[in-house]
Amino acid sequence: MKDFGAMACNGNNHADNCQCNFGKSGRATTRSFVWKGWKPKSVQGYFTGPNATCPECRKAVFYIPFKAGGGAYFDMFGPPWPKHPCTNNPPQYSPYTTSGKPKLRSLPTTFEKDGWFPFIARNVERLASGTIVHGVGLENPTIFHLGALTDLMIDLTRPIFVRLLPYNRAQMDFFPIDRTDPSTVDVFPDCLNDLDLLLLRAQKQ
């Protein structure tokens, strides 16, 4: 049974369970946001438009929470992750209107033009010679085995993007567990075990 004693929030782009009291006062006091995690069933939802509202200018933006608490607002979802100008200068262009509707969404965004695609990590192996990340692209059933020659501390609950480069190279963009800003590292496809990483390390020396 619904409780009609409390006025529900009616703020544009607010979460269904938002308790910011917008309906009573006409202005938001707090912002409740539920992050669904970077999972195959929820990833598509992040590409339909902004999921939050800037508390300063009320513009529709993308909000990414941090594991240790808090979060950051971005004008675009995906690499190169331009931060919203209220928290980062200079101002950045957003492909979405203030109402949350895409501006000519048929045109590719910056990350799409640069070859980035959403990546779902299935398993992360931290080995003596580096790290191997096993996973699939959002719309690509091919299983990728991406090897890095460093120890990667990837927050699997936040967005991960990958782009393939010439000469059997690739890059991965992710949010580290112990940092608030995304990081981009070089990775190598088709790494299946520690021996593959050792061979790559020998080739780079």
- Average pLDDT of the segment spanning 38-67: 83
- Average pLDDT of the segment spanning 183-201: 90
Most confident range (mean pLDDT) of 95-104, 110-119, 186-195 is 186-195
Q: Which of the four pLDDT bands, split at 50, 70 and 90, describes residue 20?
A: very low
Chain segment 60-72, per-residue pLDDT in tens: 888 888 877 778 8
Quick one: pLDDT at residue 132?
Answer: 95
Q: Which helix (H) or strand (E) holds 201?
A: helix 194-204
pLDDT reading at 5 higher than 80: no
Quick one: pLDDT at residue 49?
Answer: 81
Using CB atoms within 10 Å of the CB of residue 59, give its burial: 0 to 12 exposed, 13 to 18 middle, 19+ buried: buried
123 pairs with which residues across the strands?
A: 134
Q: What angle do CA 53, 54, 57 make, to 5 degrees?
A: 120
CA distances from 137 to 15, 45, 118, 165, 201 (A): 27, 15, 6, 15, 26
pLDDT reading at 23 higher than 70: no
- How much is the mean pLDDT over the chain? 76
Q: Which of the four pLDDT bands, split at 50, 70 and 90, describes residue 180?
A: confident
Most confident range (mean pLDDT) of 20-29, 35-44, 97-106, 117-126 is 117-126
pLDDT reading at 163 higher than 70: yes
Of the chain, the percentage scoring pLDDT greater than 70 comes to 69
User: 108 or 68: which carries more pLDDT confidence?
Assistant: 68
pLDDT reading at 166 higher than 70: yes
Angstrom distance (rounded) from CA 160 to CA 15: 23
- Average pLDDT of the segment spanning 72-77: 88
φ, ψ for residue 104 (rounded to 5)? 50, 60
